[in-house]
Amino acid sequence: MTHIAIAGAGIGGLTAAVALGRAGHDVTVYEQAPEFARVGADINLTPNAVCGLDGIGAALRESAAQPTHRISRTWDTGEETSRIALSETALDRYGAPQLTMHRADLMTALESAAVAEPTVAIEFGAKVTTVDPTTATIEFADHAAASADVVIGADGIHSAIRTACFGPDDPDFTGVVAYRAVVPAERLAGVPNLGAFTKWWGPDPDTQIVTFPLNRGRDIFVFATTPRSTWTAESWTMPGDPDELRALYREFHPEARALLDGCDTVLASALYVRDPLPAWSMGAVTLLGDACHPMMPFMAQGAGQAVEDAVVLARCIDTVPGIPAALATYEAARRERTARIQVGSRNNNWLKDSGSGDWVYEYNPWTVPLGDAAVASPA
Ligand SMILES: Cc1cc2nc3c(=O)[nH]c(=O)nc-3n(C[C@H](O)[C@H](O)[C@H](O)COP(=O)(O)OP(=O)(O)OC[C@H]3O[C@@H](n4cnc5c(N)ncnc54)[C@H](O)[C@@H]3O)c2cc1C
């Protein structure tokens, strides 16, 4: 049994904890928040992410919606430039559907799966300040230090573990601000395709509106981006101004504007980019998810890549003899794919006119080959 410490009880950290706990390992997750809270808005889980989460038994479908199609439309004329069937078609093609849900409902499902594992413990109010990669010892702001056989930095975009191993990062503001809102579907009577994932491509690459159903279709999530020359904070939880949002898109097609008219409250966040990291591991410490490859939201892969990392890392720790070899195998299996998606997300042209998305969606983290170092692989 390997003793594993995970910094961060987010999407990737909890997925890794459950996968490792199910394999019989002893896992402690350290989370800075005092408890789980209903924060954020949407999570868009493409089939590759759903496949990873199905493998740990996360109960997603009670609260999720299944978008019927992925539709691209032109901002002013409303012309449809592409339409890809999802739902049952995605299930047949990839073995899992696309699911869209409130982030808090996903966190609830992951928390339930984690507390059901007898060898997994979650400590709240444990803010990691640094790690020693040689001894795999974590230090905390207000908590006794803790050691493990391996430390996983799943502590998100501002990762303290990444900073301790590789120094502070220097993200670039993209000049793009994103607005997020959740609108009751009953306010949007007459707006077509509410059951679909729809992207309104704007007059320039940075201006767009994306919508998809949440809460089994009772709500519609609205995500809109716009160019902005200055911004200071990188946050998921900063309030924005709904009237400012409506004014920015006043030239859009009436069906797109109707979606914004339904917004009472919005969150606003600046979008930052980082280049792919040259390495994720040092000594007995490694990173996963946003800690090592934060990405723009335009391919909807932030959560999906964290889930894929978590499953592949758990398989490596479980099947590759020796922690250094396990972490090297993990990086070799994951770095090229995540870098390609990080760069693709920045380009913001994913599935604009054509293409199937197969290379992203058909990836199964439970069966993808791990390389020669793995001696066995759980199903
Ligand atoms: C509050 C919040 C709201 C979000 N809202 C949305 C949203 O509405 N839509 C969307 O698409 N994505 C949202 N995201 C981002 C999305 O969840 C992630 O991009 C993605 O799931 C990657 O997962 P991750 O596990 O790598 O990181 P995250 O899911 O971000 O998890 C990181 C975890 O680490 C914890 N943590 C951070 N620093 C420390 C520390 N020093 N010590 C201990 N714990 C630490 C955080 O509290 C968090 O629980 C949100 C993230 C957060 C943290």
Domain borders along the chain are 1-168+273-360
> Exposure pattern of 104-120 as b/e (b: 16+ CB <10 Å)?
bbbbbbbbebbeebebb
Q: Choose which residue among 6, 32, 312 to substitute to test ligand 1 binding: the one with the highest number of ligand atoms within 8 A of its C-beta.
A: 32
| 294/372: higher pLDDT | 294
Residues for the chain: how many in total?
Answer: 379
Helix axes 302-319, 47-54, angle to 10 degrees: 40
Are 191 and 46 a contacting pair, CB within 8 Å? no
Helix, coil or strand: residue 107: helix
User: Considering the domain 1-168+273-360 in this protein, what is its CATH number?
Assistant: 3.50.50.60
Under DSSP, the state recorded for 355 is -
Would you say the pTM of this structure is higher than 0.75? Answer: yes
Of 22-26, 59-63, 165-169, 227-231, highest mean pLDDT: 22-26
Q: Is 12 in the pocket of ligand 1 (CB under 6 A)?
A: yes
Q: Which residue has the tokens 């770095």?
A: 335
Q: Is 30 in the pocket of ligand 1 (CB under 6 A)?
A: yes
User: What is the pLDDT averaged over residues 45-52?
Assistant: 96
Burial of 368 (0-12, 13-18, 19+ CB in 10 A): middle
Are 287 and 161 a contacting pair, CB within 8 Å? yes
| 372/367: higher pLDDT | 367
Task: State the pLDDT confidence band at 377, using cuts at 50, 70 and 90.
Answer: very low
CA of 10 to the centre of ligand 1 (A): 5
Tokens of 209: 């509106």
User: What is the pLDDT averaged over residues 176-184?
Assistant: 92
Q: Is 160 in the pocket of ligand 1 (CB under 6 A)?
A: yes
Task: State the pLDDT confidence band at 353, using cuts at 50, 70 and 90.
Answer: low
CA of 39 to the centre of ligand 1 (A): 10
List, in order, residues 6 or more apart from 373 with CB less than 8 Å away: 316, 320, 321, 325, 326, 328, 329
Tokens of 200: 């309104």
User: What is the pLDDT averaged over residues 302-306?
Assistant: 97
Q: Torsions phi, psi of 260, nearest 5? A: -75, -30
Q: Choose which residue among 290, 299, 309, 338 to substitute to test ligand 1 binding: the one with the highest number of ligand atoms within 8 A of its C-beta.
A: 290
Q: Which of 2-6, 34-38, 259-263, 311-315 has the lowest mean pLDDT?
A: 34-38
Q: Is 155 in the pocket of ligand 1 (CB under 6 A)?
A: yes
> 112-156: per-residue pLDDT in tens?
999 999 999 999 999 999 999 999 999 999 889 999 999 999 999
Are 170 and 219 a contacting pair, CB within 8 Å? no
Q: Is 7 in the pocket of ligand 1 (CB under 6 A)?
A: yes
CA of 266 to the centre of ligand 1 (A): 19
User: What is the pLDDT averaged over residues 236-249?
Assistant: 88
For residues 114 and 121, what is the distance between their CA atoms, to the nearest angstrom? Answer: 8
For residues 372 and 179, what is the distance between their CA atoms, to the nearest angstrom? Answer: 45
CA of 47 to the centre of ligand 1 (A): 20
CA of 11 to the centre of ligand 1 (A): 7
Tokens of 126: 């444990």
For residues 360 and 263, what is the distance between their CA atoms, to the nearest angstrom? Answer: 32
User: What is the pLDDT averaged over residues 92-109?
Assistant: 93
pLDDT at 188 over 60: yes
Strand arrangement, sheet containing 137-140? 128-132, 137-140, 146-147
Tokens of 45: 């889980």
The pLDDT assigned to 90 comes to: 84
Q: Whose CA is nearest to atom 37 of ligand 1?
A: 155
Tokens of 350: 């994913």
Q: Whose CA is nearest to atom 38 of ligand 1?
A: 155
User: What is the pLDDT averaged over residues 294-308?
Assistant: 93
